Amino acid sequence: MKTRITTLLNIEHPIIQGGMHYVGFAEMAAAVSNAGGLGMITALSLKTPTRLAQEIYRCREITGKPFGVNLSLLPAVNAPDYASFIRVIIEGGVKIVETAGDNPRKWLPSLQAAGIKVIHKCTSIRHALKAQALGCDAISVDGFECGGHPGRDDVPNFILLPRAADELTVPFVASGGMVDGRSLVAALALGADGINMGTRFIATKEAPVHEHVKQAILDASELDTRLIMRPLKNTERVLNNAAVERILEKERRLGPSITFDDIREDIAGVYPKIMQNGLMDAGAWSCGMVAGLIHDVPSVKQLIDRIMSDAEVIISDQLARLAG
């Protein structure tokens, strides 16, 4: 299946693995790329530029196909050493970078001078248009259904994607609620050039996370995520657990006076405890509503092959029959 995104990124299938904290390591990225999609290493999970350089090298040992690096740009007093992360990405020969969070303007010239294609993740059309105007090569359009940070507009993909198709001229992919062949066909029908999946890829054999995490996704329904940190204007969709209930109780009780310090123990530094040690109530962790559509733990190749074969059946058989 050829789309503008497969041509731009030189990949076989229009399927991208999103950046995921303590999931997007070399084995995850390589498995997706080897299966014909685009795998992503999550830079900030590696903590330092040196460790990112080692992970890029490790990924190259596992796959000879294109893969990218996700780099979240976080406005912070003690921000990561982004200049060094960018240098490592360029020196490592990575040709695709997904940026998210803050405006990527500062880093675009050096990335694109190195021949790197930049995909910027956006949760609104106004931000997508800004990213396009800055010169980003593609956009990941993140709907309200997504795990992680859905922005502040609360617009789901059935509205956001056709709006993006009407407004954007660069290729874009649908992120949030993407899980199977039906998702891919729907995204294409709404104007997208492919899909970006996060939560679905966590529930695969190669995902380097504890089995408790995969089982939690299998056990969840579409009703089991919660939105936290709305009063802090940093909304995050997470899977409900004891820590999330504690956070929500504090938000209700403290109201507009709540600060990050009030919930720090259930947010900061919790991902290793959850993803690596399987302590499922240790803190809040990102998960999409799409968990309600995940019922198995296939290999990455089995998953991608199934998505593509199901999509082809829907397009060539079911839709063609309706049209006929």
Looking at the structure, tell me whether residues 229 and 174 fall in a common domain: no
**Contact between 23 and 12 (Cβ < 8 Å):** no
Tally of domains within the chain:
2
pLDDT over 90 (residue 151): yes
* 316 found inside a domain: no
Mean pLDDT of 108-134: 97
Looking at the structure, do residues 9 and 158 belong to the same domain, yes or no? Answer: yes
The reply to whether 315 falls in a domain is: no
Q: How confident is the model at residue 283 (pLDDT cuts 50, 70, 90)?
A: very high
Do 245 and 277 have their domain in common? yes
Residue 163 and residue 282 share a domain: no
Whether residues 147 and 269 fall in one domain? no
For 163-188, what is the mean pLDDT? 98
pLDDT, mean of residues 253-257: 96
Average pLDDT along the chain: 97
Domain presence at residue 82: yes
Q: Are 201 and 213 in contact, with CB atoms under 8 Å apart?
A: no
* Residue 312 placed within a domain: no
Question: What span, in angstroms and rounded, lies between the C-alpha atoms of 88 and 78?
Answer: 20
In this structure, the number of other CB atoms found within 10 A of the CB of residue 52 comes to: 24
Same domain, 229 and 196: no
Asked if 185 and 256 sit in the same domain, the reply is no
pLDDT tens digits, 3-48: 999 999 999 999 999 999 999 999 999 999 999 999 999 999 999 9
Owner of token pair 């056709």: 162
pLDDT of 78: 74
Helix (H) or strand (E) holding 99: strand 96-101
Tokens 């294409």 locate to 188
How many residues in the chain? 324
In tens, the pLDDT along 47-103 reads: 999 999 999 999 999 999 999 999 999 866 578 999 999 999 999 999 999 999 999
Asked whether 263 and 247 are in contact (CB, 8 A), the reply is yes
Q: Are residues 32 and 169 in the same domain?
A: yes
Instruction: Tell me whether residue 316 is exposed, middle or buried, using C-beta atoms within 10 angstroms of its C-beta: 0 to 12, 13 to 18, 19 or more.
Output: exposed
Residues 263 and 206: their CA atoms lie apart, in Å, by: 32
pTM of the entire predicted model: 0.96
Which residues constitute the domain of residue 74?
A: 4-201
Task: Examine the domain organization and report whether 170 and 264 are in the same domain.
Answer: no
Say if residue 249 is in the same domain as residue 169: no
Q: Pick left, alpha or beta for residue 175 (phi over 0 → left; psi -120 to 50 → alpha; otherwise beta).
A: beta
Instruction: Please tell me the predicted confidence (pLDDT) of residue 91.
Output: 97
Tens of pLDDT, residues 177-222: 999 999 999 999 999 999 999 999 999 999 999 999 999 999 999 9
User: CATH code at 157?
Assistant: 3.20.20.70
For 284, the 3-state DSSP assignment is coil
**pLDDT computed for residue 77 by the predictor:** 59
Asked whether residue 119 falls in the same domain as residue 231, the answer is: no
pLDDT, position 265: 96
Q: Is the pLDDT of residue 312 over 90?
A: yes
Phi and psi at 181, nearest 5°, equal -65, -35
pLDDT value at residue 76: 66
Given this model, what pLDDT does residue 324 score? Answer: 78
